[in-house]
Amino acid sequence: MAAPERRIGAIGRFLLKRLGLAAISLFLLSVLVFFAAQVLPGNVARRILGPFADQAAVEALNEELGTDQPLLTQYWDWISGVLTGDLGESLAYGVPVSDLIGDALLNSLKLAAFAFVMVVPLAILGGVVAALKRDRLTDRVITIGGLSFSTVPEFVTGILLILVFGLWLGWFPVSANAPEGSSFLTELKYLFLPALTLVILLFGYIARITRAGTIESLDADYTRTAFLKGLPRRTVIRRHVLRNSLLPTIAVVSTQTAYLIGGLVVIETLFNYPGMGRLIFTAANQKDFPLLQSGVLVIGIVVLVATLLADLLYSLLNPRIRFATAE
Amino acid sequence: MTTFEDLDPGTPIAIPTRPDEARIARRERIRLLIRSPTFILGNLIVGFWVVCAVFGTLIAPHDPQADDILNKLVAPSGDHPFGTDRLGRDVLSRVIVGAREILIMAPLATILGTVVGTAIGLVAGYFRGLVDEVIMRIVDAVLVVPLIITALLAVVALGPSRITLILVIGIVFSIIIAKTVRAAVLGERELDYVQAARLRNERAPYIMFAEILPNIMPPIIVEFTARLGFAIFALATLAFLGFGADPSIPDWGKDIAEHYQFISADVWWAVLFPSLAIASLVIGINLIADAVSQSFER
């Protein structure tokens, strides 16, 4: 076994490598986003104002946006602003993009956190049950049902939930916005249907990975040994199987972050909830390129940070990385 | 490129070392696959929608485009089993005809993604080194942003059109598929048959497409079926958000978006039936995808 300081060194090196890769991804992402928002449209102002706009107005807008400058200058202006916290100014709202994104991000985080709190335990339970009942009806229902529901678009699930629980049964409000100053519980009640839509979207994937992890550790030698030692089934599952099967689950939960944010675009639009997804949608609808461009980059940063956090958690829990010695 | 397109996933490709064994295994796998209940159910559902897409206007009881303002938002009844929409058009007919657009676009985008993604994955996995490193970094950067947002950005930049939608979805898929194919190639490239081909001085494209590719078809086929469901997911979502290619034709996602405002007035039929149509189609494709991937795992 490695000495403690070497252990920390191994985790540090692992994370440093991940951090480096994330930085490269972020740089490439910024180039791609810039390319999509400022190069693909050809003439940005023309794209915003439409084919019938006056040429002078187009030129004036291009000058205002800086899109008449050489591409390298444009990219440098944007990215140096982003690095100092200046994300540009929204065309549609006339306010700094960072103001809009700050509130929206917080709202989305609230919704996503609520969904995660529900889906993670549910999906882990579902996956473990499916693994224990492998190839029987319960297993098929959980895996096929879960995965089928995750492939149904969020707006379809959302609308079906609104119809059934919002309108026909009248249990939950159909808009996600609680009245100003309502209690935490009332807010949760308003957020329940949108969060449930996310839960349905994510359940299948997480449950599937948990199931695979559980089956793998059920088949492993250490589980056989534990059973042969005469330990009760319950103890073996809790102490030997679950601990090992939850590792891949952590990894998959983080890879679902991007998927979750994509889902938010539709869910927030559907439930009229002022989060990051609806902000991006509004920006796209109004051809608000500065907001769109910086918004997409911020989403990329959020996803990368979530992935890094998951990596950190994973490396702290995984003995194979924790005890890895210097190469 | 032509070498690859000639390789239809359905045609049996003999694995050079032990062709008979491989053929028997494949026949057995196909026999089990076509007997699996999920595969049958999935095909029934998808088959139903394919029939609707092909013969849509012939099956539909009414003209899906015919306005009838006097009979707008009529609840389901004998003449209109699914009711009428905000312009008095027959919802049943629109649901039937609405299958066409999405069932043409989604496979095209998925085929594009699979072909390009397989080529990228083969090159990255076979050559390793700098090429691989550069490709994988770009892959990681693109995967950070959700597909729907990438698509929104592209559609806003280029304007909505069928070509834009197919290209955007195809390119993002090619990146996802490239990752899978690369991983599969890494598993194959050290095997004896690849080494033997190298010693025979075969050219790299030949080794990649004629030697390695036939052996990594299973993950590619699994990816293709799974991605097809996701292409429908993405196209329906974009249409719902108002970024569909052609606003003039019946489209499930667009029809739902246009009638969403009416559900608080208890006009549920104009959104419920197209919603169920989308849900059944993606679930059908997903059942097929699940059965196919199970058959390869055996």
Q: In chain A, which residues have their Cβ closer than 8 Å to the Cβ of B154?
A: 36, 40
Q: Is the pLDDT of residue B2 over 70?
A: no
pLDDT digits (tens, 9 = 90+) for A106-162: 999 899 889 988 998 899 899 989 988 888 888 888 888 888 888 899 889 999 998
Cα nearest neighbour of A255 on chain B = B144
Position A1 confidence tier, pLDDT thresholds 50, 70, 90 = very low
Whole-number Cα distances in Å, B219 to B160, B182, B215, B292: 32, 11, 10, 10
In this structure, of A6-20, A212-226, A275-289, the range with the lowest mean pLDDT score is A6-20
Both tokens assigned to B284: 């059908």
Q: Which of A43, A152, A165, A307 to mutate to test the interface with B (most CBs of B within 10 A)?
A: A152
Residue B111 is predicted with a pLDDT of: 96
Task: Specify the pLDDT at position B47.
Answer: 94
Residues of chain A with pLDDT > 90: what percent? Answer: 7
B144, B158, B233: residue with CB nearest A151: B233
Ramachandran area for residue A135 (φ above 0: left; ψ -120 to 50: alpha; else beta): left
Q: What is the pLDDT of residues A190-245, one digit of tens each?
A: 889 999 999 998 898 888 888 888 888 888 888 888 888 888 888 888 777 877 77
* Contact criterion met (CB below 8 Å) for A280 and A79: no
Q: Do A159 and B271 touch (CB under 8 A)?
A: yes
Whether the Cβ atoms of residue B233 and residue A151 lie closer than 8 Å to each other: yes
CATH number among 1.10.3720.10, 1.20.1250.20, 3.90.550.10, 3.40.190.10, domain B71-297? 1.10.3720.10
pLDDT at A258 over 60: yes
Q: Above 50 in pLDDT, residue A304?
A: yes
Distance between A76 CA and the closest CA of chain B, angstroms:
19
Residues of B in contact with A289 (CB under 8 A): 156
What does the pLDDT look like over B206-251, one tens digit per residue? Answer: 988 888 998 888 889 988 998 999 999 999 999 998 888 777 888 8
User: Angle B239-B243-B245 (CA atoms, 0-180°, nearest 5)?
Assistant: 80
The confidence score (pLDDT) of residue A54 equals 83
Cβ pair A84, A164 in contact under 8 A: no
What pLDDT was estimated at residue A181? 74
Q: Look at A54-58, A127-131, A163-167, A173-177 and tell me which has the smallest mean pLDDT.
A: A173-177
CA distance B44 to A288: 44
Q: How far is the C-alpha of B227 from the C-alpha of B109, rounded, in Å?
A: 9
Higher local confidence (pLDDT), B239 or A51: B239
Question: CB B256 to CB A155 under 8 A?
Answer: yes
pLDDT at A4: 55
Q: How far is B39 from chain A (nearest CA, A)?
A: 12
Q: How confident is the model at residue B14 (pLDDT cuts 50, 70, 90)?
A: very low
> Does the beta-carbon distance from B271 to A40 stay under 8 Å?
no
φ/ψ (deg, to 5) at A326: -60, 140
Does residue B170 contact residue B112 with C-beta atoms inside 8 Å? Answer: yes
Condensed to tens digits (0 to 9), the pLDDT of residues B53-84 reads 999 788 878 888 877 777 777 778 878 888 88
ipTM field:
0.81
Q: Which residues of A touch B272 (CB under 8 A)?
A: 159-160, 163
DSSP string of A162-200?
Answer: IIIIIIIS--S-SSS-PPTT--HHHHHHHHHHHHHHHHH
CA-based nearest residue to B52, from B250, B224, B289: B250
- pLDDT above 60 (res B16): no
pLDDT at B294: 82
Is the pLDDT reported for residue B12 higher than 70?
A: no
Residue A288: pLDDT over 90: no
Classified as helix, coil or strand, B129 is: helix
Distance CA A296, CA B202 (A): 45
Helix axes B252-259, A154-161, angle to 10 degrees: 40
Res. A2 pLDDT band, cuts 50 70 90: very low
Average of per-residue pLDDT values in chain A = 82
**Chain A residue numbers touching B260 (CB-CB < 8 A):** 159, 270
Q: Do B56 and B47 form a contact (C-beta atoms < 8 A)? A: no
* Cα–Cα dist B161/B171, whole Å: 15
Residue B141 to residue A160, Cβ atoms within 8 A: no
Contacts of A33 in chain B (CB under 8 A): 145, 153
The answer to whether the Cβ–Cβ distance between A299 and B157 falls below 8 Å is no
Domain boundaries, chain B: 71-297
Q: What is the mean pLDDT of the segment spanning B13-28?
A: 67
Chains A & B: contacts with CB separation below 8 Å: 148
The partner residues of A96 in beta bridges, in order of sequence, read A89
| Per-residue pLDDT at A311 exceeds 80 | no
Amino acid identity, position A173:
P
Beta carbons of A29 and B141 less than 8 Å apart: yes
Mean of per-residue pLDDT scores for chain B: 84
What's the one-letter identity of residue A193? L
What is chain A's length? 327
Q: Which two tokens stand for residue B154?
A: 């592209």
Q: Which residue of B has its CA nearest to A297?
A: B145
Burial label, A209 (beta-carbon count in 10 A; 0-12, 13-18, 19+): buried
Cross-chain residue pair B256–A152, CB shorter than 8 Å: no
B278 touches A at CB < 8 Å: yes
- Which residue's entry shows tokens 């657009």? B101
Question: Which B residues in the span 105-164 are in contact with A, Cβ-Cβ below 8 Å?
Answer: 137-138, 140-150, 152-159
Contact B145 A24 (CB under 8 A): no
pLDDT at residue B3 greater than cutoff 70: no
Within an 8 Å CB–CB cutoff, is residue B180 touching chain A? no
Q: pLDDT at residue B110 above 90?
A: yes
The residue with greater pLDDT, A95 or A323, is A95
Nearest CA in chain A to B238: A266
Answer whether residue A92 shows pLDDT above 60.
yes
B252 vs B229: CA distance, rounded Å = 15
Looking at residue A210, what is its pLDDT? 86
Query: Which of B238, B106, B122, B229 lies closest to B177, judged by CA?
Result: B122
pLDDT of B166 > 90? The answer is yes
Most confident of A72-76, B14-18, B23-27, B38-42: B38-42
Integer angstrom CA distances of residue A265 from A279, A281, B122, B243, B292: 8, 6, 34, 13, 31
What does the pLDDT read at residue A67?
Answer: 77
Q: Are B294 and B36 in contact (CB under 8 A)?
A: yes
Mark which residues 249-268 of B lie under 8 Å from A by CB. Answer: 253, 256, 260, 263-264, 266, 268
Instruction: State the Cα–Cα distance between residues A66 and A51, nearest whole angstrom.
Output: 20
Least CA distance to A26: which residue of chain B? B141
User: Which of B153, B158, B164, B276 to mutate: most A Cβ within 10 Å?
Assistant: B153
Question: B224 in helix, strand or coil?
Answer: helix
Of all residues in chain B, what percent carry a pLDDT higher than 90? 26
pLDDT band for position A53 (cuts 50, 70, 90)? confident
In B, which residues are within 8 Å of A174 by CB distance?
264
Mean pLDDT of A266-290: 88
Tokens, residue A298: 């911020």
Whole-model pTM: value is 0.84
